[in-house]
Structure 1
Amino acid sequence: MDHRILTHQQILHKINRIAYQIYEANVDETQIVLAGIEGGGLDFARKIKRALEKICPAEILLCKVGMDKSNPLTSPVTTSLKVSEYQDR
């Protein structure tokens, strides 16, 4: 029995749609920061970044977010970018 919710093609379509929505909402920006939580979130952010780079002239920065997922409210959050690189973006 096949338990897939979406086919590979449907997933690619959704990733592209998300990329277009990000671009449309930030059309005047020269730089866009995408953040993904280490693991699946970061993998997903990388896929969106690749799709955005095909359609958007802005520089796309990828920020890896690290946190203790079992204790997210009290654990420190780390980022691969300096705060100054994503602050107010």
Structure 2
Amino acid sequence: MSKSFTPAEVATHNNADKGLYIIVDSSVYDVTKFVDEHPGGAKILKRVAGKDASKQFWKYHNESVLKKYAPKLKIGDVKDAAKL
């Protein structure tokens, strides 16, 4: 049931009305309902919503965090952009 997203599609989900999606290592996560539970606060997730947050994620988290939350937050993957 995993869906494929383009980076442009993820970018449209950058506010609470449209949903808050982030990309971590080519996987797309819907953090809309998680934003208020985030131990680091909602502000940081809102700042990276609609973007590739891999660098920021790995700076503060390890693999165990991804394994814990991925089952409920992962909604798909980023499909490869067409090469020109």
Q: Normalising TM by the smaller chain, what interval? A: under 0.3
**Structure having the larger proportion of residues in strand:** 2
Q: Flag the structure with larger Rg.
A: 1
TM (normalized to structure 2)?
0.25
Structure showing greater relative contact order (alpha-carbon pairs closer than 8 Å, 6 or more residues apart): 2
